[in-house]
Amino acid sequence: MVFNSYIFIVFFAVILALHYLPLHWNVKKVNLLLASYIFYAAWNPPFILLLWMSTVIDYFVGRALYTQPDGYKKKLLLVVSLIGNLGMLCFFKYGGFLLDNFVTIVNVFGWDFHPAKPDIILPAGISFYTFTTLCYTIDMYEKKSEPVKSLLDFSLFVTFFPHLVAGPIVRPPQLVPQFESERKATQQQLLEGLFLVSLGLFMKVVLADSMLSSIANDVFSSGGSLPALDAWMGVLAFSGQIFFDFAGYSTCAIGVAASLGFVLPQNFLYPYGAVGFSDFWRRWHITLSAWLRDYLYIPLGGNRQGKFRTYVNLMVTMLLGGLWHGANWTFVVWGGLHGFYLWVEKAIVDFRKDRVPSIASVPSAEVGVLGAQPEQFKLKTVRNFFIALFTFFLINVTWVFFRATTFTQAWNLLKSMFGLASGSPMLTTLAIIKVSVIVSLMVITHWLMRNTKVLDVAAKLSWWSFGLVWAFMIIVLIWSQESSSSFIYFQF
Amino acid sequence: MRSQSLMKSTILLVVVVASTVLCWELYWRSHGYEISYDDTPSMWADKRKRVYEPSESSTVFIGGSRIKYDIDINTWQQITGQHAIQLGCVGSTPLPVLVNLADDSKFKGRLVIDVTETLFFSPSDAQRPKEGIKYYDEETPAQWASFHVNHLLESQFVFLDKESLSLGAILDHLPLQNRPGVFHFAGFPPEFERMSFERQQNMTNRFSADTAQRNTVIKIWKMFDSDTSFRPTNGKKLDSIFNLVKTSIDKIKARGGDVIFVRPPSTGSYLARENKYYPRALYWDKLLQITGCPGIHYQDYPSISNLNCPEESHLDLAGAKIFTTHLIDLLKEKGWVFSYSK
């Protein structure tokens, strides 16, 4: 089920009504769990079995990891959990990719091997819930937190429908304690939650789907060479689309949870207002970058083993982060480009002896791969604004690899963007106006709001102006008449 | 924001949204608009599910937009007592749907295939049927449920018409000058396309009576004429189409199904272009000869040979009623039996 569908509105209304009935807290939790299974099964019912399997295995393995005194057995249990979780992810998500690459390699060495193409359907959200359960077992292994007391709470932690399919990726300490005692939203939380749901839907349905997606699709699927204007407009359109799509989903998820009285972590913090790339990763898909830092970068050694290893660890983290997004080398290059940008940025910072705090000492809640943001980058100066614009420019280059399905497509588009190729114009004046207006407003908004949150800004508005802004979003949402298209991040 | 202020904002929101939606709805109704459904893959899939009805109780129609405009489903159902299952797709070849039905061993019914040569022999125009088939094959429980909620809303509100009245559709009609060489299709005039829940399309009376709107659509046909896909398919590519059609039809017939080709009317410059690019002997006649199927070409029957297409390619509702009535008579002549017939 997707948030931007009519059936979700009905579903959500029923869940809200049930949640506010005078029932015992355990009954309400069972309601939420069943609702989460319905939410997931409404997509593809058989895949609910995978979710159950993952939940049950990790619950018991997690407890055993926490209580097991024998170091050898503990490691064995961890390996079992890693193989179980990552094995499932590898099979469903990377099975075809691994086979393709294997075939390419053996063909190079003269073995004429052509197996049948596997027909594997990717279960929705597998990358997200795998990371959720993985962090639990790793935390249990390292005794970072207490085991979850009941299977019901653990199942709800893994399956809670607002975050299940596309995050935010939650950690046990962030969500599990919220299930231990009754949660009920105050009137303010409920209305703010509904506002966030409206905002998220506006971002997804109006801005991403109705305004930008067809423009990005047209340019990326054209395949051939284009005038620089068309190529840039297509890439900028995708840049807006991917943000509004994914941040829209996260905003809906946070809003849905808030309406029920739960708090999910922020996943986006105006990323196109980022001053540099470490700042970008503090603002874009925050829960993933924090996960990668805590469960990949730091275990690899982080920045504790000298400069050379820091650079290597950074690149490995970004390459694997790229691969997490999809089974295609283009995603790896996307991650590699970000890794390269972070290298350059780190080299400049190191050269200027303007060090960021040690990565290992940074708390894991809401910051990205490179830790806390230096104070001077928090200022809204003209210099920082131009650095932010340059950052945005370079990020657009990476989106080419993220969106293109082949390197040929990506290369053709890059050549067009930088005037190394030309072709017939393709985008209408209307399309150019849409992209120019929406993307400009998006970047300006991100810059102006980079140190604040949307509810803080809303709180400063008068009641009637806030009501009118909210009404405007709903009216345009209804008027756009787009519904039920999948969120881009579902495929990851 | 304090809770009390938020509540006031929410009340304002409800009042503004409800009054705007109401005004918007009344505005379009006052302009003569009636309920129209979006022709989505979910709508196509909903009709596709019905093809398993016994042949005595239903007939399936496939093809391009002509079969959707020219068959009046009410007339069909009143005269034959049968359901008309409309699987035609605007601007598309029917071949993917034909193959899909042929490969479905459970389909044993009656099939009427619209032969609009520019589409039938142009396999490249297959996006809509392919989307419909994919949706039918992969429809999730959530999509199924959303479709029914959507139906409930679309059947109440005129303004819920994505093709014509959505934000995107209205922006597309803004008179903006494009750069030379940019292809821009803003869509058809809103009154040209209204669609029933049974997927029948018809032009409104105002469209039929409005020369300017009719000429706009005629210009659109001419613009499509410049598209290379309008050019005739021939040689091996044409042979492969004939083979595919024959193989598919043989499969349906082998299961006891009935298949007939129908060439609906066209007029004016559109007909002239069709005659030029797709001479009857090389396409229509050969199709019947190769497949061994019966066919009804409108030009062969005086009762339907002089019907008027207001924009040269489709019948208006009055014409569709006449065409459907006579088509049923002609089908009976070809041996089709309708258990209940007026």
pLDDT tens figures, A217-248: 999 988 778 899 999 999 999 999 999 999 99
- pLDDT at A422 > cutoff 50: yes
Query: Mean pLDDT across the stretch A160-164?
Result: 92
pLDDT band at A488 (very low <50, low <70, confident <90, very high): low
Across the interface, do B1 and A459 touch by the CB < 8 Å criterion?
yes
- Alpha-carbon distance of A284 to A282, in angstroms, equals 6
Asked whether residue A440 is assigned to any structural domain, the reply reads: no
Number of Cα atoms under 13 Å in the Cβ half of residue B49: 12
Q: Decide the pairing of beta strands B201-202 and B295-297.
A: unpaired
pLDDT tens for A174-199 read 899 999 888 888 889 999 999 999 99
Asked whether residue A225 is assigned to any structural domain, the reply reads: no
pLDDT band at A359 (very low <50, low <70, confident <90, very high): very low
Please report, for residues A248, A293, A373, B157, the alpha-carbon distance to residue A316 in angstroms, rounded to integers and kept in the order given.
29, 11, 22, 54
CB neighbour list of residue A408: distance below 8 Å, 6 or more residues apart: none
- Alpha-carbon distance of A471 to A237, in angstroms, equals 26
Evaluate whether B202 touches B309 at the Cβ level (below 8 Å): no
pLDDT band at A486 (very low <50, low <70, confident <90, very high): low
pLDDT tens for A66-98 read 888 888 888 888 888 888 888 888 887 777 777
Q: Is B335 on the interface with A (CB under 8 A)?
A: no
Evaluate whether A321 touches A280 at the Cβ level (below 8 Å): no
Roughly how many angstroms between the first and final C-alpha of chain A, as a whole number? 16
Which residue among A41, A430, A475 sits closest to B17, beta carbon to beta carbon? A475
Asked whether residue A302 is assigned to any structural domain, the reply reads: no
- Predicted pLDDT at A487: 52
Which residue among A45, A192, A464 sits closest to B12, beta carbon to beta carbon? A464
Q: What is the 3-state secondary structure (H, E, C) of chain A?
A: CCCCCHHHHHHHHHHHHHHCCCCCHHHHHHHHHHHHHHHHHCCCHHHHHHHHHHHHHHHHHHHHHHHCCCHHHHHHHHHHHHHHHHHHHHHHHHHHHHHHHHHHHHHHCCCCCCCCCCCCCCCCCHHHHHHHHHHHHHHHHCCCCCCCCCHHHHHHHHHCHHHHCCCCCCCHHHHHHHHHCCCCCCHHHHHHHHHHHHHHHHHHHHHHHHHHHHHHHHHHHHCCCCCHHHHHHHHHHHHHHHHHHHHHHHHHHHHHHHHCCCCCCCCCCCHHHCCCHHHHHHHCCHHHHHHHHHHHHCCCCCCCCCHHHHHHHHHHHHHHHHHHHCCCHHHHHHHHHHHHHHHHHHHHHHHCCCCCCCHHHCCCCCCCCCCCCCHHHHCCCHHHHHHHHHHHHHHHHHHHHHHCCCHHHHHHHHHHHCCCCCCCCCCCHHHHHHHHHHHHHHHHHHHHCCCCCHHHHHHHCCHHHHHHHHHHHHHHHHHHCCCCCCCHHHHC
pLDDT band at A273 (very low <50, low <70, confident <90, very high): very high
Q: How far is B115 from chain A (nearest CA, A)?
A: 30
Chain B hits for A424, CB-CB cut-off 8 Å, are 181
Asked whether residue A166 is assigned to any structural domain, the reply reads: yes
DSSP B202: E
Across the interface, do A455 and B153 touch by the CB < 8 Å criterion?
no
- Predicted pLDDT at A118: 65
Q: How far is B11 from chain A (nearest CA, A)?
A: 8
Residue listed under structure tokens 């496939």:
B62
Q: How far is A457 from chain B (nearest CA, A)?
A: 9
Asked whether residue A401 is assigned to any structural domain, the reply reads: no
- Predicted pLDDT at A167: 75
Structure tokens, A155:
């199942």
Peptide bond into A271 cis (omega under 30): no
Structure tokens, B165:
């009245």
H or E, element range at B96 = helix B95-102
Please report, for residues A53, A155, A238, the alpha-carbon distance to residue A57 in angstroms, rounded to integers and kept in the order given.
6, 11, 39
- pLDDT at A404 > cutoff 70: yes
CB neighbour list of residue A99: distance below 8 Å, 6 or more residues apart: A115, A118
DSSP B106: T
- Predicted pLDDT at B341: 53
- Alpha-carbon distance of A236 to A229, in angstroms, equals 10
Chain A hits for B159, CB-CB cut-off 8 Å, are 479
- Asked which of A36-40, A67-71, A356-360, A401-405 is least confident by mean pLDDT, the reply is A356-360
CB neighbour list of residue A189: distance below 8 Å, 6 or more residues apart: A258, A259, A261
pLDDT tens for B258-287 read 999 999 999 998 898 888 888 999 999 999
Chain B hits for A202, CB-CB cut-off 8 Å, are none
Structure tokens, B112:
């009427």
Q: Which residue of B has its CA nearest to A432?
A: B178
H or E, element range at B219 = helix B211-225
Chain A hits for B17, CB-CB cut-off 8 Å, are 471, 474-475, 478
Residue of B4, B9, B152, B157 to mutate for A, most A C-beta atoms under 10 A: B9
- Predicted pLDDT at B222: 82
Asked whether residue A55 is assigned to any structural domain, the reply reads: yes
Is the complex ipTM more than 0.90? no
DSSP sequence for B142-168: HHHHHHHHHHHHHTT-TT--HHHHSHH
Chain B contacts in chain A segment 6-25 (CB below 8 A): 6-10
Q: Which residue of B has its CA nearest to A459?
A: B1
The domains found in chain B, sorted by start residue, are 41-171+184-333 (3.40.50.1110)
Structure tokens, A62:
């997690």
- pLDDT at A423 > cutoff 80: yes
Percentage of chain A surpassing pLDDT 90? 46
Asked whether residue A76 is assigned to any structural domain, the reply reads: yes
Please report, for residues A210, A216, A416, A436, A454, the alpha-carbon distance to residue A213 in angstroms, rounded to integers and kept in the order given.
7, 5, 20, 14, 24
For A396, list phi and psi in degrees, rounded to 5: -60, -35
Asked whether residue A244 is assigned to any structural domain, the reply reads: no
Q: How far is B165 from chain A (nearest CA, A)?
A: 8
A446 is catalytic: no
**How many structural domains are present in chain A?**
1
Evaluate whether A371 touches A346 at the Cβ level (below 8 Å): no
Across the interface, do B142 and A1 touch by the CB < 8 Å criterion?
yes
- Predicted pLDDT at B340: 64
Which residues of chain B fall below pLDDT 70? 1, 123, 186, 226-230, 340-342
- Give residue B26's identity as a one-letter amino acid code: L
Tell me how crowded residue B132 is: count the other CB atoms within 10 A of its CB: 26
Tell me how crowded residue B113 is: count the other CB atoms within 10 A of its CB: 27
Query: Mean pLDDT across the stretch A47-58?
Result: 88
Q: What 3-state DSSP class applies to B269? A: helix
Q: Which domain holds residue A69?
A: 21-180
Chain B hits for A468, CB-CB cut-off 8 Å, are 12, 16
Structure tokens, A165:
């399919």
Looking at every residue in chain A, the average pLDDT score rounds to 86
- Alpha-carbon distance of A227 to A489, in angstroms, equals 29
- pLDDT at A360 > cutoff 60: no
Across the interface, do A467 and B21 touch by the CB < 8 Å criterion?
no
**What percent of the residues of chain B are helix, what percent strand, and what percent coil, each to the nearest 5?**
55, 10, 35
